[in-house]
Amino acid sequence: IAAHAEGPLTSDSLGPANVLVIAHPSESKWEATVNGGDPRLSDAELDEIERFVHRGGGLIVLGETEQDKYGNNLNDLLERFGLRIENATVQDYSHHHGDAPSWVLAALDHTATATATADGAAPDLLARVDQACFYRAGTLALGLANGARVVARTHDTASSPSAPLAAVTTHGDGRVVVLADSDLFGDDCIGELDHEALWLNLVYWAAQPGFSGAGS
């Protein structure tokens, strides 16, 4: 695991990686923890990331509530894979964690997330995951023709009923994961519910092409 803290993302910086994680880039006026850099990816970086995935890399993108205000261009990247983070804040007064209706408990469908691999195995992306909370989440939009699968969605009682919260897709030889919230994998929340198991499942799934190319 290594942080890319300086300079653009290039073929050299991405070359050693199996999975690239882009975790909710933001202008500093919205998030005090950022280093002051530009949250927007350049056109060259967008092209390089797409090539990285197409060649077999994994990409995990973490969005956020009210996605449009943060000044990033994650959707310019995600639209290359038929995905989009919508500008929304979900509330659910029937399925929520704690006392906050914006801490939405996701509806999980284990059967819908089984993904066949080249050797015929179908790993469950929700193995050991019974509950996951999306804290002040947006929602996702999925293209009709890209074969994306929903990992988690809102309940039909939510303000955005049955809307995707997490989805996966493939692109060339690589794999893409996108979630409409970043907090569930943050330091203060990854130990809640089954978030750690969900994170490990998604990272290993995204990294699978790298494992298949490794020697025994």
CB 9 within 8 A of CB 45: yes
pLDDT, tens only, 160-204: 999 999 999 999 999 999 999 999 999 999 999 999 999 999 999
- C-alpha distance across the termini of the chain, in Å: 22
Average pLDDT over residues 9-32: 89
pLDDT, tens only, 138-159: 999 998 656 889 999 999 999 9
Tell me the whole-structure pTM to 2 decimals: 0.91
Strand boundaries in the chain, DSSP class E: 19-23, 58-62, 83-86, 103-105, 107-108, 133-135, 139-142, 149-153, 164-171, 174-179
Determine what percent of the chain is predicted with pLDDT higher than 90: 73
pLDDT value, residue 1: 87
pLDDT value, residue 184: 95
pLDDT, tens only, 88-120: 999 999 999 999 999 999 999 876 655 544 444
pLDDT, tens only, 27-46: 887 877 666 678 899 999 99
- In the sheet where 107-108 sits, what is the strand order? 19-23, 58-62, 174-179, 164-171, 149-153, 107-108
User: 210, 213, 208, 184: which is closest to 198 by C-alpha?
Assistant: 184
CB 99 within 8 A of CB 159: no
